[in-house]
Chains A and B, each alone.
Chain A
């Protein structure tokens, strides 16, 4: 990475040098940092070209890579209508549909440092007020970019504080002599616009941010104080009232929502009754149950905040085990260790937070002393080889696929769009919980292991072939539902070496299914940066469940390929590209997914089965099973 960074720096200074100060209005087309870097770095352009909806980047990154009218630029998959507000994507109302696809994204007049960027955006928003439709479309996108990605260069709390400061300045009497007549109102309105969009975008997750909540509260009170003076701001203020209410910010004095319901998060809480309920998003303050094991496989179940630190967890465990009371000196301090089913151990640091959702599927938390650490062994596998039919054999492929898609849609909907940003960029800032995204990723790998587990636990060749057929059908139906997450997971599961090496089983598969599976393999082929998949995705209209790991890969690429700050100036093009990516996720969810399913007892059984898989995630064990089934296969 060293030469890369050097290269970036060079380009960065170039960028800064080229930006002519005071050029005003249109920015002279400058060369983008990432663009220069890319051709040698990656042969093909990232997904943006094909994943649709990114035409608006035109002015941004890829223009010089490929001419705008190049045949390789695939058509947008989403017409402007599909970007329509209120479609459930959240925070879209500021983006007027007609403006997005057509107009060019114009970054700020000149690069700015983090502390002054917000001021620039405000100027831009305020300046555009004279436009007939409030503010120009370019400003709309800029607004969305900043709200989605400000945390890359400025902690949310400070971002809000700056808004507060700007509002204060605009309230000063008399206003600075250089300001025009309505300047103060314009500036205030600009602050309001950002705040409104911010609230709409963040929504429920704001409840987790105490400090940010406090700044919003202050700003809200400040706005209310002189709201009556400005009739022109009436609409915005009305909206603000509504939003503050829906966000449930504790504007009135600390009225803590009393006991939240405890959510059972882990697979050892197989509560059929609760697993059938629609999943709601997890928040850091949610209380969950969690088992912590001892070296002898005894366990205690503790109740903990999802965001609890490792130290908090250890304190609860110690308390439960009555360590502190009776043997304060003799007992060595406990450490918390995650032990995977393969026996792999990793010690968790006391200050780590929110570790529950980052565990592997069959990993468990162990509390032990340094002395007993070497003796830790994983829990015995829960699952058993059963010679007879397991549940999956009695279920229809289509039903299984329907329930999978329905469940994964729920999980996907639970992920706040900002979790994607935080997941990739959290290294640069205080960590916000990304629990829902982590759970979705965990589920994705669970489905992969489920496929392998079911196939490998089936002892008869004929039935095994039948299972392969069933899984291929499941993949096909999921693809039809545009649930690419499940589709990918099932195909990857079938491609897992312990399964794919079962030559006898695959040979018995009818030609039709062999061909179908070959097609699926081609679709998931990562070559040319997942070209086939991206092309298929382009042709899809929402609702879509995208293959989320690829989105994270793309975001990681954006993150690593260009710096956020170049010589102290914010790389707004990077912010824009990240925000564009987030907007593709928004589009996927802009329409609700409705699958028609009966609620017969049989269907409920399938639903329960699909929502609580028991899988083997130990690759060695899967291989062992595979060799037992077909030892001589190559």
Chain B
């Protein structure tokens, strides 16, 4: 019964309607849709490289509109990295991230070694902007986390967001880039190395 320990788990939090699912689906499937279906909890998996071997990136898209405190606690305790999404068109959505951030601190303790990315989504809607880029940066500085503005609709900064997040991970080397053949070779090399040690 192997617990999938080589999964790298990213959890996306944020208020309802800020575009968490849109970001995730844009990244995972490359698609975008204007219609809104409230999420309960979805998890997508993708193969990435981790410490020169292959592992699974597990992205959990959480609910912004339902209240499941127990599920939220569980996602935090199991997560390795977090994306906190607000919409630049809603100051309220940035405010709503505070309790989530505090809960991550509380459950994870030392947050500085944990990759957290504050994300201002919908930056294509400049005319509706309520949160300035500088506000987001200031909040990120306060929370000692990284910051980025994105647009799932225009596919702006989406892939970068996930790559940056993985770059923040210092305990292991995780990267979106995988070259199938290369990693296989690497695997083989490692296997050989292992055998050498045994001998």
Q: Please state if A325 and B70 are interface contacts (CB–CB under 8 Å).
A: no
B107 within 8 A of A: no
Q: Does B109 contact A (CB under 8 A)?
A: no
> Bound complex: CA of A262 vs CA of B81, how far in Å?
30
Docked-complex contact A272 and B70, CB < 8 angstroms? yes
CB within 8 Å for A297 and B42 given contacts A322-B25, A325-B33: no
**Contact across chains for A380 and B42 when beta carbons are under 8 A apart:** no
Q: For residue A300, which residues in chain B have a CB less than 8 angstroms away from its CB?
A: 42
Indicate if the CB atoms of A381 and B31 lie closer than 8 Å: no
Number of interface residues of B (CB under 8 A): 21
A228: CB under 8 A from chain B?
no
Q: Which residue of A lies closest to B59 (CB)?
A: A298
Q: Could you say which residues of chain B place their CB within 8 Å of the CB of A291?
A: 41
- Indicate if the CB atoms of A301 and B39 lie closer than 8 Å: yes
- Interface contacts beyond A380-B2, A380-B4: sample of 10 additional A-B pairs, CB < 8 Å, sorted by A: A270-B70, A270-B74, A271-B68, A273-B69, A320-B42, A321-B29, A322-B29, A322-B31, A380-B1, A384-B3
Closest A residue by C-beta to B41: A301
In the bound complex, CA of A325 to CA of B43 (Å): 20
Asked if A206 CB lies within 8 Å of chain B CBs, one says: no
Q: For residue B198, which residues in chain A have a CB less than 8 angstroms away from its CB?
A: none
Query: Residues of A within 8 Å of B, CB-based: how many?
Result: 27
- Residues of chain B within 8 A (CB-CB) of A621 are 1
Cβ–Cβ < 8 Å partners of B40 in chain A: 289, 301-303
From 65 to 118 in chain B, residues with beta carbon under 8 angstroms from any chain A beta carbon are 68-71, 74
Report the Cα distance A99→B15, complex, angstroms. 63
Contact with B along A357-393 (1 / 0, CB 8 A): 0000000000000000000000011011100000000
Known: A271-B68, A320-B37, A380-B4. A298 touches B31 (CB 8 A): no
CB distance from B23 to the nearest CB of A (A): 13
Residue contacts A-B, CB under 8 angstroms, 11 given? A270-B71, A273-B69, A273-B70, A298-B44, A301-B41, A303-B40, A320-B37, A322-B25, A322-B33, A325-B33, A380-B1
List, in ascending order, chain A residues with CB within 8 A of B45's CB. 296-298
Q: What is B's interface to A at a CB cutoff of 8 Å?
A: 1-4, 25, 29, 31, 33, 37, 39-45, 68-71, 74
Q: A271 and B31: CB pair below 8 A?
A: no
A297 to B47, CA, bound (A): 12
Decide: B42 and A299 in contact? CB cutoff 8 A. yes
The answer on a CB contact under 8 Å between A326 and B31 is yes
Which residue of chain B lies nearest to A272 when distances are taken between CB atoms in the complex? B70
A269 adjacent to chain B (CB < 8 Å): yes
Bound complex: CA A269 to CA B43 (Å): 14
Nearest-Cβ distance from residue A552 to partner chain B, whole angstroms: 33
Min C-beta distance of A310 to chain B, whole Å = 19
Given A322-B31, A325-B31, A381-B1: A269 in contact with B42 (beta carbons within 8 A): no
CB-CB under 8 A from B39, the residues of chain A are 301
Contacts of A385 in B (CB 8 A): 1
A218 in the interface, Cβ–Cβ < 8 Å? no
Nearest-Cβ distance from residue A13 to partner chain B, whole angstroms: 58
